[in-house]
Structures are given as C-alpha cells and as structure tokens.
Structure 1
Amino acid sequence: MKEIFLRYEVHQDHLTLISAGEWMLHTVLQIEKRLLEVPCDRKIIWDVSAISDFDSAGVLLFIEHLERFQNATEVEVVGYTENQKDMYDLLNRDIPKTIPSRKQSTLENLGRHTLEAAQDIKDFTTFTGHLFYAMFHTFLHPKAIRFKETVYHIHQSGFNALIIIALTSFLVGMVISYQGSVQLAKFGADIFIVDTVAISITRELGPMITAIVIAGRSGSAYTAEIGAMKITEEISAMRTMGFDPYTFLVLPRVFALMIALPLLIFFADIVGIIGGMVASNMQLGISMTVFIERVYEVLEVKHYLLGMMKGPVFAFLIAAIGCFRGFQVAHKTESIGLHTTSSVVNSIFLVIAFDALFSVIFTELGL
C-alpha cells in the first residue's frame, strides 16, 4: 500500500496538516508535491507528531514550506520532539535568506512528464476497473439504475446539443461539397460529389465531429460538476453515508451519453448531407432531386451502421474521461479549470485515435 506522508483536514476556521512517515531524502519529492497542493486560505495547525524518522533533507523541506505558509497565513506547529527542534534550529540558523532556484534540465522535465503520464494511465485504468465493476453490479441489480438521472443527462447532453450539432454538421457538409466540387469539376465528374459527401459524412466525419463537439460541451461539464462536488465535500459525504459515487454519479452520465451520442450522430449525418446538397446545388447546379437519387444509389446501409457503431465507444470514452478528471480535482478552485481542460484535450485525442483505429479495422475487414 502506498505510504501517506502528508494529509490535511479542512475545518471551518482552520486547516489541520498532519505529517507522517519518513521525511528523508528519498521521500522529499513525493512530500513536496503534496505540500504544494495545501491551500493557504485559513489558519494552519501543522502536526508533526507522526513523523517516524527524518534527516536534514526532510527538515529543510519543512523549513521551506513553513516559511511559505507563514507568508500567507497564521501557522501553528504542534507535536514536535526535541530532536526535531534541535535539527530545525541548527539548519534554520545556517540557511541563507535567499536560496537561488535550481533550473530543471530538459531531460529532467521530460522524465517528470513521463512519470506523470504513466501515473495518469495507471489511475485511469483503476478508475475504469471500478466503473466496470459498478456497471456489472448494476446490470445484476436493475433496480439500482437511476433512470430519472439518466433521462436528465440524456436531455442535457443530447436534446440541448441539437442546435450546435446541426449547425456544425451543416457547415462541414457544405465545406466538403465546396472543396470537392472544385477538383471534380476539372474532370467533369460533378456527380461524384454526392458520393464524397454521403459516404464521408456517414462513415467518418459525422461521428467524429459530433463526438468532438460533445467532448467540448458535455465532457467538460461532467468534469466541472463532479469537481465542484469534490471541493464541497459532497462526494466524501456520499461515501460516508454508504453510497457508491460510481453508481450515483458516473453511471447515469455514461449511460446517458451512450444513448444520446448515436442519436446525435444519426441526426448529424442527415444534416451534413443536407449541407452538402445545398452547396452542390449552389456550386455545381446539381438539383436536389438528382442529389437524393444519387444518394439512394451509392449510400449503402452499412455506411450508416459503421458510423453508428462508433457512437457508444466514443460516448464511453468521453463520459469516462470527464468523470475521471472530475474525481482528480484537488481542494482548490483553479484545479477545476486545469482538469476541465485536460478532460477536453484527452477526450478529443482519444476520439481521433479510436476513429483512426476503426478505419484501419474496417478497411482490413473489407467493410
């Protein structure tokens, strides 16, 4: 089990900071990372009685952050031993008042970012395991499904997104038609613009554009909502009362998006084709009747189905990442913004990566 060197408890008028374990040279990096997360918006009572061992590196770290806290708020240190006090007096006397900051090398930064990415992947894998367990348990006990909350999130993530999805899809269809018609007109193959618009929208662009819009709209909202609940201790209270946050917070959002996104993709496909039809009529003079007849000839049902199959996968990724980043929010307001940004970036990246994976698989299968 991972050793906890530092934790804090937030009270109404003060914050209790509890240090524990070995504050030694090999642990100071972990401890410092945790110390930087401690808010300084109220009085701090720093309890060091649970520290089992320490060396000069640990005491220097304590001195550095004690001064930082004292510059921001009132600090009271309790529970220290005579040995700790002697070491503090010795080192604090010889520390220069201004310590030049050490510049980190490019290789060091790369290593740190790599470790953070690896930890993120590990945490997300753990989160996904909890999510699948909650999903399996819910399927075995259907009465535990929160239908009211699921319908609410379907309305928020699906119905309320129709306008932006319609506008985006219509414009994408028009852009494809305009750009494609310029090239096809050179070869007298104007009619093939219908093939280009219909197949590209239904197979690739419709699902991907819809998922990207939903990632920016609904995925970020999931992160902000759950993050705010974590800051206000609602999630901790929920666990205290014996409620599983995965069942009550995550699953309704995941189920809602897995239902809403395929429907939005179907809607986006239709609107995107209409956008291409309008542009074809304006640019090439292809009448809407001819366009629709050509669509009937070239657009097979499998193209719609292959595009729709991506919907539940994209929805699961967006909802899971949005909720995961929400649970990662720390007890400070700026953390919501940082994790909301991470949620959107991660969701869009995974949507594009999985879309590319689907394209390779479908091509290899001859679909």
Structure 2
Amino acid sequence: MNRQFLKLKRDQDHLSIISMGDWTLKSVRQIEKEWRKIPVDKEIIWDLSGVEDFDSAGVLLFIEIMEYLKKRTAVKVIGYSSAQKEMYDLLTSHSLDPVPQRKQGFIENIGKNTVEVYRDMKDFITFIGELFVTLFHTLFNPRHIRFKEMVYHIHQSGFNALIIIGMTSFLVGMVIAYQGSVQLAKFGADIFIVDTVGISIVRELGPMITAIVIAGRSGSAYTAEIGAMKITEEIAAMRTMGFDPYNFLVLPRIFALMISLPLLIFFADLIGIFGGMVASQMQLGISFSQFIERLYEVLEVKHYILGMIKGPVFAFLIAAVGCFRGFQVSDNTESIGLHTTASVVNSIFLVIAFDALFSVIYTELDL
C-alpha cells in the first residue's frame, strides 16, 4: 500500500495540511497525485514538521504547490527547518524555467490501471477475510449481533425501496409482455406469453432487476454513510475506543440486506407478473383468470426457488462492496463521490456476473 505524504484536517475556519515522509525524487509522483485532491475553499495552514527527508525535487514540488495555492487562497507555512528554508531561498533566488509535464503513454496508462485493479482486488479480498473472521466470531457469540441496527437498515434498505421496486418490476413485466406478444401473435401462440412472463420474471429478471435497483439505491448509501464517518474520523475514534467497525457498521448492513432482498424479490415477482397480466389483456385480450390458470400449469415451484436462491448472494455482494468502498474513502469530500460511483458500478457488474454464473450452473444441472 502506498505511503501517505499529505494529511488533511478540517477546522471550522481553515484547512490544515500536514506533510509527512520523504519529499524526494522517488516520492514526487505520489505526492503530485495527493496534492491535486486538496480543496481550496478555506484558508490553509501547511505544517512541514513531519517531513523526514527532502531534496531539491521535493522543494521544487513544494514551490509549485505553493504557487498554485496562493492564487486561490491564503496560505501559511509552519514547522519548516532551517535547512528547508535555505534550499527554498536558494531555488527561488534563481529563475527556473518550468519543466513541461511528461504525457503518459497509452501503454503506461494500461499498466497503471492494471496495477490499480490488482490493488483493489487484493484489498477487497483482505476486507472479505476480515469480514468473515468477524462474522464467525459473531455467530459463535450471538449476543454481539446488533439487532436494533439491523432492523433499522432493513427498514431503510427494504421497506423504503418498495415503491421504486414495484414501479420498475411492473414496467419490466409490461415490456416483456408487449414485446413477446408481437412475436407470439404471428404464430397464433398467444397463450404462451404467460410462460414467457412468468418464468422469465420469477427465475431471472425479478432477482436481477431488484438487485440492480438496490445496488444503486442502498449500496451507494452504505458507501456514502461509511465514507462520511471516515472523513469525520468517527471510525478512527471507534477503533481507539476498542470497538470493531466491522461488527458495528458492516455486519448489520449485510444481515439487513440479506434478509430484505429476498423479500423484495418476492414482491418484485408478484408486481412484475401483474404488469405482464395487464399488458397481455390489453394487447392479446387474455383475461386475468385465463392468465392465472395458465400460470398455475407452467410456473413450477422450482423456478421460484431457483430465483430466490440468488437473493442472499446478491445482497452479500452489494452490501460488501458498498461497505468496502466506504472504508476506502480518503480525507476529502471528492473521494466520497468517486467511491460511491465505483461502488454502484462494481456492485452492478458483480450482480450481472454472478447471475450469469447461476445460469450456467442451473443449465449444467438441468434445473
């Protein structure tokens, strides 16, 4: 993991920047990435007392940052040593032509992105490992389960999502019925629209659409909530007081979503089928009673069970990714937006990937 060279602390009337580590040629690239995230909406107090070593490259970078910040806000520098001051005066006393920034090549960008993906995967595996350790410890000590917080998150992630889940499922059911009826009517197989709507929604579309909506709604909320707690140093305070953030923040959210998502899937199945019934009556003239009679014939219980099995898996993925990205938030508000976006994208990708995996497994098992 990369070492941190700049630490930000927000006060009511100013922003404190604390420099740390070695400001040398080897660390200049990493420091450049960090300082570009510094907000300039308040007066800045820059503390250099934590710099362990420096060279001309580090001081030149300091000069560049100072010029950038002074154009936008007031800056006060404290904690510098006499050696740092001497090198600063030496370099500023000679006019230096700015060195043009080297453009990163295509291959270099691919390499950097690959390394970032690798680090993300490694950090996520570490997060999952720590999560399972806490999970097993909690299961063997049920008194540590935080039922009050779990009920709160079930209400927030489940009950409050009923309206958007219902509207989405109803429209998806209508779209399937409308599109399918056009093709089936050409062959005089109107009644088979019941098979199409019932099986596709219960087995595939209901679980996947519900999971995608919850990933965008609740997964992003988990990231934003935990990220805000990290910025305000609430998580650091919890660790200082001996509380495990995994037990207090992560497990209640995972348990809540694993309970609420299967119930939402059941609700989405009912509303989606109802949407198909409405569209079938409007487009093909199939009455509700005819639709339900045919549904009893073709929709076996196994289709419902196979679709419902996906619920806890999708819920675990969404909650785990949302909490993981929340813990990755750094010390600035921009990071919350970036990691919230990454949380939604990652969750939806994993939901679709695991849905494809389930389809392959079901096909191989002839289910």
Which TM-score applies when normalising by structure 1?
Answer: 0.92
What CA deviation, in whole Å up to 9, does each residue of 1:49-87 have, x standing for no partner?
Answer: 5423x33322222222233333323221423242x3343
Shift of 1:272: 0.9
Q: Distance in 1 between matches of 2:228 and 2:20?
A: 29
Shift of the alpha carbon at 1:205? 0.2
Corresponding position of 1:42: 43
What is residue 128 of structure 1 aligned with on the other side?
128
Match for residue 263 of structure 1? Answer: 263
The amino acid that maps onto 1:169 is S
1:16 CA displacement: 4.7
Q: Show the 5 A alignment for 1:21-32.
A: 21-32=21-32
What is the Cα deviation at residue 229 of structure 1? 1.8
8 A contact 1:19–1:48 mirrored in 2? yes
2:232 aligns with 232
Q: Does 1:216 align with 2:191?
A: no
Aligned runs of 1:95-174 on 2, under 5 Å? 95-96=95-96, 100-174=100-174
Name the SS of the counterpart of 1:207 in structure 2. helix
Identify the residue that residue 343 of structure 2 maps to in structure 1. Answer: 343
CA 1:180–1:2 in 2, change beyond 3 Å: closer, same or farther?
closer
- CA separation in 2, counterparts of 1:4 and 1:201? 49
- Unpaired segments of 5 or more residues in structure 2? none
CA contact (8 A) 2:22 2:51 kept: no
Other-structure match for 2:178: 178
The 1-side partners of 2:2 and 2:98 are apart by 35
Q: Distance in 1 between matches of 2:348 and 2:168?
A: 16
Give the structure 1 partner of residue 63 of structure 2. 63
Report Cα offsets for 1:220-247 as digits up to 9, x if no partner. 1112222222222222222222211111
1:312 aligns with 2:312: yes
> 1:224 and 1:18, CA in 2 relative to 1: closer, same or farther beyond 3 A?
closer
Question: 2: distance between equivalents of 1:128 and 1:137?
Answer: 14
Give the equivalent residue in structure 2 for 1:364: 364
| Paired residues, number | 365
Q: 1:3 to 1:344 in 2, by over 3 A?
A: closer
Matched to 2:236, the amino acid is: S
Does the residue aligned with 1:191 lie in a helix, a strand or coil? helix
SS at match of 2:52: strand
CA drift of 1:193 comes to 1.1
Q: Alpha carbons of 1:12 and 1:290: their partners in 2 closer, same or farther (altered >3 Å)?
A: closer
One-letter code aligned to 2:70: Q
Point out the more displaced range, 290-299 or 250-259.
Answer: 290-299
Could you tell me how far apart the structure 1 residues matched to 2:156 and 2:293 are?
Answer: 36
The alpha carbon displacement at 1:322 in A equals: 1.3
The equivalent of 2:286 in structure 1 is 286
Q: Once the 2 structures are TM-superposed, how far is the Cα of residue 324 of structure 1 from its aligned partner?
A: 1.6
Contact between 1:21 and 1:50, CA under 8 Å: does it hold in 2? yes
Q: Structure 1's 70 and 77: CA in aligned 2 closer, same or farther, altered over 3 A?
A: farther
Question: What displacement does 1:176 show?
Answer: 0.5
How far did 1:361 drift?
1.3
Give 1:79's aligned amino acid: Y
Aligned to 1:187: 187
Identity between Structure 1 and Structure 2 (%): 70
Which residue in 2 is equivalent to 1:250?
A: 250
Partner of 1:322: 322
Unaligned runs of 5+ in 1: none
Relative to structure 2, which stretch is displaced further, 209-218 or 95-104? Answer: 95-104
